[in-house]
Structure 1
Amino acid sequence: MATKETSLRQCIDELSAKNTDYKFPEQAINQAESLKSLSSDLYTDNIRFIYEVIQNADDAQAKYITLTILEDKYFIIAHDGKAFDEKDLHGICGVNHGTKKKDLDKTGYKGLGFKAVFGKSNKVIIYSNGESFRFDSSYQIKWDKQWGANDQQTWKKENDREFIYPWQINPVWTNDNEIPSFIRNFLNQKKNQIHVAYAILLNNVGEINSALNQLIQQPYMFLFLRNICRMTFLTQSIDTISIDRNLSHGLKNVNINKEINSQWIIKRFELDIPDDMLKKLSKDTKAPEKLRFIKKAEMFFAAKYKPLIHNANGEVISGGIEKLREQDSVLFSYLPTKIFEYKFPVLINANFLTNVNREQIHTDSVWNQWLFDKISGEIFQWIKELVKNNKFHFQAYRLIPSKLNPENNILTKRFNDSFARCINHCNFIRNRKNQLLRVNEVIMDLTAMSKQSSFINITSMREYIIKNEETSSQYANDPFIDYDLNLNQIGVEKFTWDQCINMFKSDIFLKTHSIEENKRMIEYFYTKYSKIDTNDGMDIDIQQIPFLMDQNYRLQLIKDIYFPANTMGDNGTNDSEYIFVNKTIFAWLNEKAQKGIKQWLKGLGVDERTDLTYLHKTIIPNVACYITRENAIKTIKMLFMLFQKNAT
């Protein structure tokens, strides 16, 4: 009802009298032409027209809404929200006189949105708690003889001009018998569920039908509505979109006909608005009145989530948090805009200042610039929160945004500047001790060696990396993490196999690498490489890794080392010119328990140094450079003796 004191009908009659009280007919015509242009140009996109009527229901605190087309004529939007009162009536009949200008809990604020309906229809019936009124282009207002002619027809002839009046702002009280019977039947069937309904006589039914079907295919577009949690589309089939929060998993489910269509992790941030921003807002002509006195603003992120899928071994192979596809990354101002150019990894919703049709946001608005400045920091804070949760952990890195390119407007620049600051200062990367570190404090270990504490000294590994870096580093005491594509894209340092091979040869590493640790290292590589047709996740040939300790306590490649043997008087002493497996390691390999490891090493090419193995392993592979002035005579003698031995 309108108010306790005033009926809706009385308000309608009074407002109709005011809105048709023109001193001259030209005033009515000029306003009517302006409203006609505004209504036609406001929404050229049929989907956005439907968004507008849905938003009006949401602003009326509706929980349930029904959309249908009756008799292939009338588009019906019915909901259980607040009924019309006098203020609502004035808002819907005015221009820039909406009831939402100061209300932070409502999305609209321009006082123009409902005028879009008149670009699609010449007649709209509004039902509110048993009372009805309409806006009707065919309704004839009473001619005022003070306008200089006795009647409308005479005036038209005298002025050679068609008379039209602004019917879009003139509410007409409507009795039940003036409402088509099929609309009355629909309302009666749902009278316990409906407080307000709009019946819009469509100029083009096919366009709206098509738009409704498109909306059913994109139900996530309604994620950020403030109040509506269920929408029923009564089209060719009955489709109900519902949005509910899964409290046990912290997810928001978007359902179609009670089946989950998509799942989202929603995060709300409350932003403190600084005083200098409030001063700027007071001077910004695009800023609505309701933003000029607030102290806090809200921003929402929505990350897409899919249930985890495991393989037979229980390992996760897909699912979890997903980065949005570029074609799905749209900005929201509670309902979607048409802005896809920023390609954020999550849906972002805030009270952006939009143009009249809410398709674009103002790039020159200080408010929008401030919001874009906040986006990057809040995303990284959310990643920081998610990465501490074992349910999401490394999946959270999929939400890392990219620098926007090109910097084609001030919003892009504000985001990029904030992004650069966050990358350098936000501690959002979780190491293996569950510490949160900054980008320049971590190293992605592509070798997994930092996990092998039984034979790798982490301190030595870190020391080696720092000593061999060209720039000074600020690595944490335990900086190592697993490789992640998303972290790689923002420049996190990597520790590669090339670096690892050089580290194994370095004095820094070898000074702490004991014989017992070398045994564990050999066992590790045996486990990784001894399986048939697999390297168990290793992406380097074992022949490239120096892991066998020699008589001088250095690590050697398989191709360069022999098992000790009394061949030609050489059994692997420290002063030997040849390289032999360390005697303690060799004794360990000869134990029964290590039989498999020794056989594996022999299969790779490690053998006792005989003349023949020396020829095949050392001389032939290096024939172009092996013989020198110093070893020529000795080598020729050895080859001659070998020839004689095999000749007999």
Structure 2
Amino acid sequence: MTEPKIFINKLKEDIESSNEIVLKSLSGSIDRLQKAFPRYESFLMEFLQNADDEKSKKFSVHLKDDSLIISNDGNPFSERNIQSLCAVGDSDKLLDNYIGYLGVGFKSVFLISNYVKVSSYPYNFIFSKSVWEKNRFPWQVTPVWEEKFVDEIDNFKTKFQIQIKSASFIKQIQLELTANHINNRILLFLKNIETIAFIDDLSGTKREFTKSLIKETEYYKIWSITEGESIEKWLVIQDEYEVPEDVKKDQITIDWERSEVKVRELAAVFKLDDYSNIISVHKATAHIGVFSFIPIKEVESGLKFLIQADFITNLGRGDIDRDCLWNKWIAIKIFDLITNKCIQIFKTNDKWKCNFTNILYPFDPSTGHTLFIEKILNPLKTYLEKESVFLTEKNEFIKKEEVIWLDADLIDLLSDNDISHLFPNRKVLNRNCSTYLSEYQDKIYPKDYDPFDYDKFGKELFEYKASLNDSEWFNRFYAYLLRKYNKSYFHQYSQPNVKHDSFWNDLASTNKVFILTEDFSLSSPKNSYTNPDNLEIPPLIKKTLKVVNQNLLINPSFEAFKKYLTHTRFIHSNKTECFKKINHQLITNFLLENEALKLTEADWISKNEDEKIKFILVLIPLLNKIKFDDYNFLTLPSKSGTWLNPKGLFLSSEYDPETHHLEKIKDEGFLDLPVEFLSPVFITKSETINKSQLRKFFRNLGVDDREKEKNITERIAILKVLKYELDEGRIARELGGSEKPGYDIESTNGSIKRLIEVKGSRDSKPNIFLTSGEYTTLFNNSDKYYVYVVSEAIKSPIIHIVPGINLLEIDETNVTFDFNKWYPKKLN
């Protein structure tokens, strides 16, 4: 080996003695090469990768005042290393074994510095612009021997002392040293470096992160990366792939000096939690990256894990070249690595086999680098949707279309035969699986906390189990409800006590049938009965009187469920009576109901008044079961004692004291039409039916007929206005039907005459509608035309007086033309 100082001086002299034109061309080439780097800070990644190539274990970047010291403990510089450092586009590295290009990448440091000192014993030299007087001299590749070594060599074998040009570059470097720019997981993709330290004296901060091998098998490695108090675990799966001949012969492969490369190693890296489960690397917490052999940093891939490969970059090293054959081959092989190696490893691991599909399924197959979308994301999505990758309860792997996803508690309630019957050709997804099927349509899962939101599945399940006379299963189901939806379950929600009570009250009042009966049919809790006295039930009503199955009643689980369903509340009590006890009166009522539902007109006519009243009271609770058109022969008693068609009756004040004042209005003399009111006998004869139910039932029969009410409303309005005019000292006369010229009442006071059109309404804020005759009269007599609006006519009539001239001033009016008036008699 040549003596170090002599070797450096000889390199310097060789460059100095070059032709002037050659020197200028070389200088220009170096300038352009430097500017090709995408960011000024790119040189840090170059130094890091070159240190790894030289088998460094430690790497340090130390920012001090206006200088940056970069150190490593790898192999010291050799003569060949220095020659590469002083050349342009040359490297001493074998492509099969190295990822960095020292000669090319090192030049990027001169973007931020005009002075770099290199100390790698026994070599000590500088690259300095100030040494040379010529402006176009290639000082960046011309070493100058330096006698004094860099201070504080410590345990490092090679150091670079870099003087920074300006304060703006210092700020950029400070930013680059943060976790947002250089993530500690870069250690995963370095073969030799185990510790990286970033020290910033200017801000007083220090980052140091270290990797340690936790586990190594024939197929994968697990590493931990420690930074401060943070420890992350990573699963690294690697494989080597032989480069095809057509890829080697591609011009871009040749240009990037890959034509002699025989194999390339690829890696897929998955984050592990504290329990060694694989988890997603989310955009929100860290970049998802692809590390190349040169400093492109990280490129977003659209995946939930990391991949590493020797991608070729575009000009400027800022992004991966999406069109070159080399990169397409690598992307295809990454897909192969995932599907042929990673998935096979996952399937054999008890922890990873449950949720790997969730990790492998892309965030969004339409986002990310186009090369990855075409060669990795879309193929991976298709693979996961078509191949057998979903773990069943039986530890088998099946395809997506074979999956049924059940709540874990339901899995325990169903036998294999149950599942085969309910879901032919399907198998239950393993309860521990977390897959990308969260929106999958065949997922049968309770919505929020409703165990019956299973659509067809819930109904079919209960009916199937009832058909098997499987009372034991129903007891287990009730125990499941009681066990799962107790008070502690609702602590996951705000206002847990309210949620709890709402759930159980809804369950008590539901119409869904899940209570097994004595004849192995189904009923809802509110329509189910118990028969503790073993009373004989007439055959006529056995099918309608749903008695709880005896095998349920003797089981403590059902008794506990029944008690909880009907009584256990914290805020809102249960108002629905469930599991009513059968007694003689109940049987009598059921018989009456049965008879009432089969009632004919002839039956009705044959009954006396008391029997009719009793039958009406039986029909009222059946409001939602009967068709009212089938009972148009019914008559009802009026207060006058006459039995009338319901359409000839109005509710009396006893039924609707808040809003129905017709009786009072009639008594006050404001109704001169014949009106009959419904007898209150149904209120006095029933203790269990509330007035709201009574009003709804009778109005469905035809009571409070709206057409009749309209006539009554208009009549009340006329009489109210006549009384008002009299009270005001005017003489009012109602016009007869044959003499109405566009108004209802003439009212005079001496020589002053009012033409009054009366509008009555049951509403509190009614609109005004005028006929064409009324509007014409208004237009021709606006100074004496009035509209008297009587609102709330059947409750508390109020008169509103509107002068006609005010109406004519309203701009926004609607005019309606009757269809029969405008439609032509014959179409041309």
TM-score of the aligned structures, taking structure 2 as reference length: 0.61
Structure 1 residue 378 displacement after superposition: 3.8
Determine the C-alpha separation between the residues in 2 that align with 1:523 and 1:632. 48
Determine the C-alpha separation between the residues in 1 that align with 2:334 and 2:186. 20
Match of 1:494 among 427, 431, 443: 443
Structure 1 residue 423 displacement after superposition: 1.2
Match of 1:285 among 245, 252, 259: 252
Residue identity opposite 1:385 in structure 2 = I
Determine the C-alpha separation between the residues in 2 that align with 1:66 and 1:447. 52
Determine the C-alpha separation between the residues in 2 that align with 1:415 and 1:355. 20
Contact 2:248 2:260 in 1 (8 A): no
Match of 1:440 among 401, 406, 410: 401
- Secondary structure in 2 matching 1:42: coil
Contact 1:589 1:597 in 2 (8 A): no
Structure 1 residues 393 and 479: alpha-carbon distance in aligned structure 2, compared to 1, 3 A threshold: closer
Determine the C-alpha separation between the residues in 2 that align with 1:9 and 1:416. 55
Residue 267 (1) aligns with residue 226 (2): no
Residue 321 (1) aligns with residue 279 (2): yes
Where does 1:278-357 land on structure 2 (aligned, <5 Å)? Answer: 278-286=245-253, 291-294=258-261, 296-307=263-274, 321-326=279-284, 328-333=287-292, 337-355=296-314, 357=316
Structure 1 residues 336 and 254: alpha-carbon distance in aligned structure 2, compared to 1, 3 A threshold: farther
Equivalent residue number for residue 165 of structure 2 = 203
Structure 1 residues 375 and 438: alpha-carbon distance in aligned structure 2, compared to 1, 3 A threshold: farther
Structure 1 residue 248 displacement after superposition: 6.4
Residue 527 (1) aligns with residue 483 (2): yes
Equivalent residue number for residue 184 of structure 2 = 219
Contact 2:115 2:128 in 1 (8 A): yes
Contact 2:290 2:307 in 1 (8 A): yes
Residue identity opposite 1:501 in structure 2 = G
Match of 1:12 among 8, 16, 21: 8
Residue identity opposite 2:270 in structure 1 = A
Q: Which runs of 5 or more residues in structure 2 are unaligned?
A: 446-453, 494-499, 568-575, 594-617, 637-680, 689-828
Determine the C-alpha separation between the residues in 1 that align with 2:419 and 2:327. 47
Q: Which has the larger radius of gyration?
A: 2
Larger relative contact order, structure 1 or 2 (CA cutoff 8 Å, min sep 6): 1
- Secondary structure in 2 matching 1:81: coil
Equivalent residue number for residue 475 of structure 1 = 426
Residue 553 (1) aligns with residue 516 (2): no
Q: How many residues align?
A: 574
Equivalent residue number for residue 58 of structure 2 = 64
Equivalent residue number for residue 37 of structure 2 = 42
Structure 1 residue 354 displacement after superposition: 1.8
Where does 1:498-647 land on structure 2 (aligned, <5 Å)? Answer: 498-507=455-464, 510-512=466-468, 514-529=470-485, 531=487, 534=490, 542=507, 543=510, 546-564=513-531, 570=537, 576-585=542-551, 588-590=552-554, 595-600=559-564, 602-603=566-567, 605-609=578-582, 623-626=623-626
- Secondary structure in 1 matching 2:544: coil
Structure 1 residues 342 and 431: alpha-carbon distance in aligned structure 2, compared to 1, 3 A threshold: same
Structure 1 residue 43 displacement after superposition: 4.3
Determine the C-alpha separation between the residues in 2 that align with 1:224 and 1:398. 24
Contact 1:443 1:480 in 2 (8 A): no
Structure 1 residue 214 displacement after superposition: 4.2
Residue 366 (1) aligns with residue 325 (2): yes
Structure 1 residue 110 displacement after superposition: 8.3
Structure 1 residue 83 displacement after superposition: 1.4
- Secondary structure in 2 matching 1:53: helix
Match of 1:166 among 138, 143, 146: 138
Match of 2:105 among 113, 130, 136: 113
Q: Which runs of 5 or more residues in structure 1 are unaligned?
A: 142-161, 310-318, 467-473
Determine the C-alpha separation between the residues in 2 that align with 1:251 and 1:544. 56
- Secondary structure in 1 matching 2:162: strand
Structure 1 residue 579 displacement after superposition: 4.7
Where does 1:26-175 land on structure 2 (aligned, <5 Å)? Answer: 26-46=21-41, 48-70=42-64, 72-100=65-93, 102-109=94-101, 111-140=103-132, 164-175=136-147
Residue identity opposite 1:626 in structure 2 = I
Structure 1 residue 94 displacement after superposition: 1.3
Contact 1:216 1:239 in 2 (8 A): no
- Secondary structure in 2 matching 1:112: helix
Structure 1 residues 384 and 475: alpha-carbon distance in aligned structure 2, compared to 1, 3 A threshold: farther
Q: CA RMSD in A?
A: 4.1
Contact 2:303 2:377 in 1 (8 A): no
Equivalent residue number for residue 151 of structure 1 = none
Determine the C-alpha separation between the residues in 2 that align with 1:557 and 1:336. 69
Structure 1 residue 294 displacement after superposition: 4.7
1:339-377 residue CA offsets vs partner (Å, 9 max, x unmatched):
544332112221111235433110012222233234445
Residue identity opposite 1:112 in structure 2 = V
TM-score of the aligned structures, taking structure 1 as reference length: 0.76
Determine the C-alpha separation between the residues in 1 that align with 2:194 and 2:368. 38
Equivalent residue number for residue 715 of structure 2 = none
Determine the C-alpha separation between the residues in 2 that align with 1:223 and 1:66. 17
Equivalent residue number for residue 242 of structure 1 = 209
Structure 1 residues 348 and 408: alpha-carbon distance in aligned structure 2, compared to 1, 3 A threshold: closer
Residue 186 (1) aligns with residue 159 (2): no
Determine the C-alpha separation between the residues in 2 that align with 1:626 and 1:34. 96
Structure 1 residues 567 and 65: alpha-carbon distance in aligned structure 2, compared to 1, 3 A threshold: closer
